Structure 1
Amino acid sequence: MHGLDDIDRKIIAAVQSDGRITVNEIAARVGLSASPCARRVRMLEEAGVIKGYTAVIDQKKVGLPISAFASIKLERQREEDLDRFAAAVARWPEVVDCYLMTGQRDYLMRVVVQDLEAYERFLKDKLTRLDGVASIETSFALVQIKRSEVLPL
Structure 2
Amino acid sequence: MLDETDLRLLSALQKDAHLTAQELGEQLNLSASQAGRRRQRLEADGYIRGYTARLDPLKLGLNVQGFVQVHLETHGPEYSRSFAQLLATRPEIVSAWTMTGDADYLLRVYCEDLPSLNRLIHEVLLPHRAVARVHSQIVMDQLKRDGPLPT
Letter aligned with residue 139 of structure 2: A
1:19–1:55: 8 Å Cα contact kept in structure 2? no
Matched with 2:27 is 29
* Aligned-partner SS, 1:129: coil
Instruction: State, as a whole percentage, how many aligned pairs show the same letter.
Output: 36
Is 1:17 the counterpart of 2:15? The answer is yes
Aligned length: 151
Letter aligned with residue 89 of structure 2: R
Instruction: Give 1:29 deviation, angstroms.
Output: 0.9
Query: Where do 4+ consecutive residues of structure 1 move more than 3 Å?
Result: none
Letter aligned with residue 72 of structure 1: V
Instruction: Give 1:108 deviation, angstroms.
Output: 0.5
Aligned partner (choices 72, 81, 106) of residue 104 of structure 2: 106
Cα distance in 2, alignment partners of residues 87 and 46 from structure 1: 29
Instruction: Give 1:27 deviation, angstroms.
Output: 1.4
Matched with 2:50 is 52
Is 1:130 the counterpart of 2:128? The answer is yes
Matched with 1:141 is 139
1:63–1:114: 8 Å Cα contact kept in structure 2? yes
What TM-score do the two structures reach when normalised by structure 2?
A: 0.93
Cα distance in 1, alignment partners of residues 127 and 9 from structure 2: 45
Letter aligned with residue 137 of structure 1: H
Q: Deviations over 1:21-65 (max 9, x none)?
A: 111111111121122221211121122211111111121122112
What TM-score do the two structures reach when normalised by structure 1?
A: 0.92
Task: Select between 37-46 and 75-84 the one with higher mean Cα deviation.
Answer: 75-84
* Aligned-partner SS, 2:33: helix
Matched with 1:38 is 36
Cα distance in 2, alignment partners of residues 80 and 46 from structure 1: 34
Letter aligned with residue 83 of structure 1: R
Cα distance in 2, alignment partners of residues 111 and 133 from structure 1: 17
* Aligned-partner SS, 2:106: strand
RMSD, aligned CA: 1.3
Q: Deviations over 1:42-90 (max 9, x none)?
A: 1211222111111111211221120111000112332232222222212
Give unmatched runs, 5+ long, in structure 2.
Answer: none
